[in-house]
Structure 1
């Protein structure tokens, strides 16, 4: 087994301090209390604790706002890293935060404010509808979709992935209609406590976590008009500032693929709204030349220590795409919309 010392040295060579520094930004969505058979790749508490242990051993974990300032002044420490979460799931507070505090680090949590206090994201309506469905076939042809097998866990997993792929890029009203119809057709009792409460957001901030905006309803910004996009961006900022009583200066693009999910004009809208930086889901690491409104993020999907480390080394060498070019293919948790 390769000792941590050598992995840390390699990370330091790829990510030195100062002008040649590279910033690794990790992205997560959920941390479950126990494994979910429907989504075996979604990290549970035990796995997340292990991942955080690797990260804190190999990297210097710093808050995102401090990392942004250090990028601007070319004063990043060697092996600099940031941990982020998207969407605002309640388990970020109840499961992930205690693990972060155990390791004496903070993370930045990007909140889709329209789902606080009992809301449910569109993707979770689909996921939980299929999870609860008791029959072997689900006919969605009336929605312009297909008939899907749902008799086993594996079939449900493939069905969820297929439906999410088909609905993600629909216009918001069409997507809402489709998800509500799927819930109606499956006759499912859907959970209403998946997302954080406003009080949990305050609790996380009081514990030293950072809070950022992620729009109100998690639209694909490139699929809505600029006026609506401006409202989604600014209203999420205002909502969080009202909850926290302090400025919110960090933003995460919904879905986050440069040139596909957001465009240069959206980056400028975010800057005009008073944010200091924004993160995408493009792979790669950030350096002195990185646009602070297109900071890349990446988390290896490997579950073993060395493969996780080697994947991170490769990511430190990757050049992330700008929002005018196509991004690399994503291997994201299938139950989340980013």
Structure 2
């Protein structure tokens, strides 16, 4: 804790930010809960994914968070929010998808600072699986230089002659397939990988193993569900969505030997990626609460099955703190759900 106070004394702007956060994020019945969302934390910069945060950057962000906020376990924060007893400057840390670097890179940084996080895991990709976006990323990474015409599978033409062109190709491919029905998305991504890298194997260690998931839980972290296959729920029938949610929940509970009580909607934008029917499903299936990716903060009046989350997209801790302040002061009503 002394290190945090030293940072405050050294940085008057950080002190002012912490003080301001206490004003806009008071305690009790008018409290506001900030929930942060992360995905990966890399040991070093990845040239084809330059926007993914690295360990030193994440450590700096966590130092800022510990100094400016009171970081709580998400389940505890939800209970306190409902009861009107949430402390001032309350914040929670979450991760989505279930990457192995959550355990190997992020967890030690969290533990060194005494911070808790909730990890929402997509169960189908445990033990050697690869999510669709990572399959595309890794295929583009290892593809030989050249021009690839994928128009026959309703995608674009890609010039993979430079690092910059590969980054642009990854971004375009992910955007084009993300909202396809799950089966079609899987088929199309498989065809892209075959065209770009043939029989060259793709990594099988990006996601956690079952043992790593247990290690994360045993370290005191919360494990939540994130569906089985990471579909866009709004693009499925209700029966298909329910089956995918159930399969993900049951698989995690089988590994952990305990009830999984929290859920994160894939992609997570209300009214676009999930509907009211999915909110009701989660209640019926025995979850306690769920998080979206709608920006903003939660209050006592917020639907606890649609808790907003925010990511301060800055590698600089001070700028991240200011973005969090702005997020706290801007009220964004949750879009109406169908």
User: Structure 1 length as normaliser, TM-score?
Assistant: 0.94
- Aligned pairs for 1:210-289 (under 5 A) are 210-289=222-301
- Report if aligned partners of 2:276, 2:337 keep a CA contact under 8 Å in 1: no
Question: Match for 1:195 among 182, 200, 207?
Answer: 207
Quote the offset at 1:325 in angstroms: 6.0
The corresponding residue for 1:183 is 193
Asked whether the 8 Å contact 2:64–2:318 carries over to 1, the reply is: no
Task: Please name the residue that 1:139 is paired with.
Answer: 149
- 3-state DSSP class of the match of 2:92? strand
Q: 1:16 to 1:285 in 2, by over 3 A?
A: same
Aligned-partner Cα distance in 1 for 2:26–2:77: 14
User: Paired residue for 1:42?
Assistant: 52
Q: Distance in 1 between matches of 2:332 and 2:277?
A: 19
1:57 maps to 2:58: no
Q: Residue 183 of structure 1: CA displacement?
A: 0.7
Q: How does 1:60-75 map to 2 (within 5 A)?
A: 60-75=70-85
Deviation of 1:306 (Å): 2.8
Aligned to 1:23: 33
3-state DSSP of counterpart to 2:62: helix
- 2: CA distance between counterparts of 1:198 and 1:305? 33
Tell whether the 8 Å contact from 1:283 to 1:318 is kept in structure 2 after alignment.
no
Structure 1 counterpart of 2:6: none
Q: 1:183 to 1:321 in 2, by over 3 A?
A: farther
Superposed counterparts of 1:204-215, under 5 Å: 204-215=216-227
Show the counterpart of 1:324. 336
Q: Aligned partners of 1:175, 1:132: CA distance in 2, in Å?
A: 21
2:4 maps to: none
Count, aligned residues: 326
1:169 aligned partner:
179
What CA distance in whole angstroms lies between the structure 1 residues aligned with 2:160 and 2:77? 45
Verify the 8 A CA contact 1:262 1:323 in the aligned structure 2. no
1:101 aligns with 2:104: no
TM-score (norm: length of structure 2): 0.94
Please list the CA deviations of residues 143-198 of structure 1 after superposition, one character each: whole Å capped at 9, or x if unmatched. 11110121111111111111111110011111011100011001243101110011
Whether contact under 8 Å (2:275, 2:337) holds in the other structure is no
Runs of 4+ in structure 1 off by over 6 angstroms are none
Task: Please say which of residues 303-312 and 146-155 is displaced more in the overlay.
Answer: 303-312
Q: Deviations over 1:218-261 (max 9, x none)?
A: 00000011111111112211111111111110000000011000
Provide structure 1 residue ranges, at least 5 long, that are not aligned to the other structure: 327-338
Distance 2:209 2:317 in 1: 34
